[in-house]
Structure 1
Amino acid sequence: MAAAILTGMALEARIARRGGLPAACATGHAAAMAAAHRLLEGGTGGIVSFGIAGGLAPDLRPGSLVLASAVVDEDGAVHETCQSWRNRLRNALPQAHSGMVVGARMPAVTVGDKARLRALTGAAAVDLESLAVARACQAWGRPFAVLRAVADPAWRALPAAALAGLDGEGRMAPGAVLARLAADPRELVALGRLAWDLGKALASLRGAARAIPVDLLGGGPLGLDPAQRVRDVA
């Protein structure tokens, strides 16, 4: 069974596809959960959660790649990623940082929000889709991995205009951003800084998409024997 990539933004999905990887897009926890179950029900062998993230660890700068050892929720439940997939991705992307990713239902907007999540979970980064991927894959007994690039670092808040910048299908909505800026032009500087940081994160994702081994996603859990697959998912 072939595996797939799941992203939260249409732009991230395009990056994956240009790297030759199959990708679907669903924004936020609920949509990602539904999309992951559809993929797995359709025979997908496993899922890689791929895209940008908010930084929680203070040493992660914009563009830093995070290869998750596990996904943790805000209640402390830990979902370990597939070790064999993680090892292959580590070999392909030695510059990636290892650490947990926290799955949140709402964006971590302020520096205080990020500090709280860091203290609560010890996670290196936060995103909105990886927890859904983890739960769905574990429900189906399929492997999963998480590869994310930091856009907004731990010491920087997200401007409100940025939160208005995506529609429900993960596409950019320039009109909503402009309306928000018209309401508060002071956000222009913060939005420009975020755009610069986002560019670094997307550049890292492009490089990562080219480096992911083709057979990671082409034939189930890396061609492992069934017994090994069970051990990896457990």
Structure 2
Amino acid sequence: MDAKVAVGGGTPEGATRAARSLARDSSVSAIISFGLAGGLDPGSAAGDLLIPRRILDAAGTAFPCDNRLADIFGGVTADAMIGGGKVAVTPQDKMMLFASTGAVAIDLESAAVARVALEHGLGFAVLRAVADPAGRHLPPAALLALGTDGRIQLGQVVRSVLRQPAQIPQLLALAREAAAARRALKRALQAYRSSVSATGT
């Protein structure tokens, strides 16, 4: 199975553009929303892989995922994730979302990708890893890191740290957690490639 990559940049708008660019390619039969997520389930840990059965948008609309695609990465690991809305900043924010929706994690892109896949009759699945667990409070600099175009805004981050140096320990902890999430995603891709090589499909 050949794979093509389009980068959404961490925003719903960017995810929509990226998904549409894939959907216009006649060789694409499915889209997988891949990347980091914020944990909502108190039992989640940094680096936990998430393969949900469905994605909820900010209004609560559910988009089912294709279980056959999920099986590529080992099968469904969670019932629901939120794939839109705004960043859950505090442990209290995350607790409220978990209690009201039952979703185990949140990202800002997956619902946008799901909509495009549905519009074009393409398969859809999600593979995410927890970068900030439910108990992690996101420091101000972390919220400034990504611009609306998905690019890292290093100047904004530096200015935020200079104004509030007390957030440095939180930023370092978040960096370690995000690194664990990226390692988990890398392992999942390596396992997938190995299985493809072994089966020759």
Q: Shift of the alpha carbon at 1:79? A: 0.8
Q: Closer, same or farther in 2 for the Cα pair 1:207/1:214, shift >3 Å? A: closer
Aligned residue number for residue 22 of structure 1 = 4
Aligned residue number for residue 40 of structure 1 = 23
Aligned residue number for residue 119 of structure 2 = 139
* CA distance in 1 between partners of 2:142 and 2:77 (Å): 26
* CA distance in 2 between partners of 1:171 and 1:215 (Å): 33
Q: Which amino acid aligns with 2:24?
A: E
- How high is the sequence identity, in percent, across the aligned residues? 35
In the TM superposition, 1:214-229 aligns within 5 A as none
TM-score, with structure 2 as normaliser: 0.88
Q: Is 2:52–2:65's contact at 8 Å kept on the other side of the alignment?
A: yes
Q: Is 2:57–2:85's contact at 8 Å kept on the other side of the alignment?
A: no
Unaligned runs of 5+ in 1: 4-20, 217-222, 224-234
Aligned residue number for residue 63 of structure 1 = 47
Q: Shift of the alpha carbon at 1:99? A: 2.8
* CA distance in 1 between partners of 2:141 and 2:73 (Å): 34
* CA distance in 2 between partners of 1:171 and 1:74 (Å): 24
Q: Closer, same or farther in 2 for the Cα pair 1:138/1:214, shift >3 Å? A: farther
Q: Which amino acid aligns with 1:39?
A: L
Q: Is 1:72–1:79's contact at 8 Å kept on the other side of the alignment?
A: yes
Aligned length: 195
Q: Shift of the alpha carbon at 1:121? A: 1.4
Q: Is 2:6–2:21's contact at 8 Å kept on the other side of the alignment?
A: no
Q: Shift of the alpha carbon at 1:214? A: 7.9
1:149 and 2:129 are equivalent in the alignment: yes
* CA-to-aligned-CA distance 1:37-68 (integer Å, 9 cap, x gap): 22102222211101110001111100100011
Q: Is 1:161–1:180's contact at 8 Å kept on the other side of the alignment?
A: yes
Aligned residue number for residue 87 of structure 1 = 71
Q: Is 2:14–2:149's contact at 8 Å kept on the other side of the alignment?
A: no
Q: Closer, same or farther in 2 for the Cα pair 1:159/1:50, shift >3 Å? A: same
* CA distance in 2 between partners of 1:168 and 1:72 (Å): 22
Q: Shift of the alpha carbon at 1:114? A: 1.0
Q: Shift of the alpha carbon at 1:164? A: 1.3
Match of 2:153 among 173, 186, 193: 173
* CA distance in 1 between partners of 2:194 and 2:23 (Å): 19
* CA distance in 2 between partners of 1:78 and 1:25 (Å): 23
Q: Is 2:58–2:85's contact at 8 Å kept on the other side of the alignment?
A: no
Q: 39-48 or 193-202: which moved more?
A: 39-48
Q: Shift of the alpha carbon at 1:213? A: 4.8
What is the alpha-carbon root mean square deviation over aligned residues?
2.1
1:190 and 2:151 are equivalent in the alignment: no
* CA-to-aligned-CA distance 1:151-200 (integer Å, 9 cap, x gap): 10011111110111123443433322111101111111110110111111
* CA distance in 1 between partners of 2:172 and 2:34 (Å): 24
* CA distance in 1 between partners of 2:16 and 2:153 (Å): 23
Q: 186-195 or 115-124: which moved more?
A: 115-124
Q: Secondary structure at the match of 2:127?
A: strand
